[in-house]
Chains A and B, each alone.
Chain A
Amino acid sequence: MRGERHVVCRASELAPGERRIVRLGGRSIGVFNVGGSFYALHNGCPHKGGALCEGPICGTTVDASFGYGRDGEIVRCAWHGWEFDIATGVAIADPAVRARTYPVVVEDGQVMVVVPGTTRARGVRR
């Protein structure tokens, strides 16, 4: 994976259902533990730049009878409430919209996020 690895925390310090907002390589990034797997999303919403990673971690309605599912797999942007799949960054209502994701590596009990070098373009990418 290209880019620089940044240690976020020990895996044991980020329990399932939890998140951390960290600043890495000049970017605000949300790191999530969803059921034991770690994911990182850019904390800037592709919609209007809101604090995407700081909204509720939740599920959503998954069928026409208001069945509720995917609990813990979705983050709603803190500003306007768009729902994103934490694992893929895909917007639930419009898969053409994606939040930027970063690779996460867990090695020797450390959670590390791979962030492209600072010479590369920053900011929101759709």
Chain B
Amino acid sequence: MIDCDVHNSWHSAEVLLPYLPPAFREYLQRGELPGPRGSFPHAHRPWLHPEGFMRYDAVPASGAAAGSEYELLREQVLDRYDVDYAILTGDEAIEASTLANPYYANALTSAYNDWLVQEWLPADPRLKGSLVVAPQDPHGAAAEIRRMGDHDDIVQVLMSSGSQRPYGDPFFHPIWEAAAELDLPIAVHLGGQGGLNANPIGCGPTTFFWETHALLCETGMAHLASTIAHGVFERWPNARLILVECGVAWVPPILWRLDEDYRALRKETPWLRRLPSEYAHEHIRMTTQPLEQPRSPEALWPALDDIGARDMLMFASDYPHWDFEDPRFLRLPESWREPVLDGNARDVYGLPARDRVSEGAGR
């Protein structure tokens, strides 16, 4: 089994200090922060979670932040569910996308990537990393992908779903170019809804956290449509977009709508040669958590089946966040279990087959 969204955190963002260049080390030590000392520099979204973000049982005995200690993460994810690979997605690092200062944002994401590679990935061969980049500076992000993207345990590029504009826009093409060069998928994780990313949701800010969380799919819709429409998958045939924590039940109707409108107004995007749903089936993947819960559990699958989602969904737990999903409680059609819990992620990340892992050859 592969868990595609596991949050490795820190107790204090000051763990990044040794990895920051001196100029920006001062920013983190003496500069303004969004919270107490050790908080990570970012603009906050306009919704405050009324309970904090974490599973209470994921707080280590030391009292450190949930997700910040490998041993507990190992016990509660890797060992408990017999996980072959956990894809680490950081925690606050993607929020660097909210900062107006791209130089600081780049320094912070680079520091995070070095910290990840030095202090997390060597801990366990089952841990695979996501290279966090600051999308507000596409050329800086591309440089970071070229600097670190060939590390053996880095399996994807990661950006927040909150963004200045949808990710298919030519503004972001340097990032797609670099990711294609390194043959890395680009994952877009819920977050970055504030600061520079002034339009985190459809028609302006909603009011409550739960209300907003249920609409987390909106940014995913925009990135899906944009990457297809702008021809990202024609221009870079190995490009892949992974939508993390953006929901899945909305994907079939949005693809149906895109196909319908493309058929009428194809001439606007003459670089496309196939229907939007065909690009999506080949190039876009969605992680399952938080999986929608219809009144009749079986109601979820017919529409997803229509777009071939059996090949597109990948399991994620979102450990240690409050909306964590336990793979043992995931209701999947029997024939979907293997691809969704394992095979699809193995393909997209190029991870070795399970029998090789058990023989110790996987790493």
Partner-B contacts on A (CB < 8 A):
47, 60-67, 80-83, 91-94, 97
Contact = CB atoms under 8 A, between A and B. Distances in A.
Contacts of B147: none
B231 A61 contact: no
Interface size of B as a range: 10 to 19
Contacts of B266: 60-61, 83, 92-93
Interface of B: 231, 234, 259, 262-268, 270-271, 275
B271 A93 contact: no
B192 to A, nearest CB: 31
Closest 8 CB pairs of A and B: A61-B270, A64-B271, A93-B266, A93-B263, A81-B264, A61-B267, A60-B267, A80-B264
Contact of B275 (A63, A66, A80, A93): A93
Contact of A91 (B231, B263, B265, B270): B263
Contacts of A64: 231, 234, 270-271
17 contacts: A60-B266, A61-B270, A62-B270, A63-B270, A64-B234, A67-B270, A80-B264, A81-B264, A82-B264, A83-B266, A83-B267, A92-B266, A93-B263, A94-B259, A94-B263, A94-B275, A97-B263
Contacts of B268: 61
Contacts of B275: 93-94
Q: Which of B263, B268, B275 has the most CB of A within 10 A?
A: B263
A113 B320 CA distance: 70
Contacts of A94: 259, 263, 275
Given A64-B234, A64-B271, A91-B263, 17 more contacts: A60-B267, A60-B270, A61-B266, A61-B267, A61-B270, A63-B270, A66-B270, A67-B270, A80-B264, A82-B263, A93-B262, A93-B263, A93-B264, A93-B266, A93-B275, A94-B259, A94-B263
A65 B265 CA distance: 16
Contacts of B262: 93
A91 B267 CA distance: 12
Contacts of B264: 80-82, 93
Contacts, number: 35
A60 B265 CA distance: 10
B170 to A, nearest CB: 13
A94 B264 CA distance: 10
A93 to B, nearest CB: 4
A92 B274 CA distance: 10
A97 B262 CA distance: 13
Contacts of B234: 64
Contacts of B267: 60-61, 83
Nearest to B278: A94
Q: Which of B231, B268, B270, B271 has the most CB of A within 10 A?
A: B270
Contacts of A92: 266
A67 B267 CA distance: 10
A81 B270 contact: no
A81 B271 contact: no
Contacts of B263: 47, 82, 91, 93-94, 97
Contacts of A60: 266-267, 270
Contacts of A63: 270
Contacts of A93: 262-264, 266, 275
Nearest to A67: B270
Nearest to A48: B260
A81 B267 CA distance: 11
B16 to A, nearest CB: 42
A47 B265 CA distance: 14
A47 B259 CA distance: 12
Nearest to A76: B264
A63 to B, nearest CB: 6
Contacts of A66: 270
Contacts of A91: 263
B296 to A, nearest CB: 31
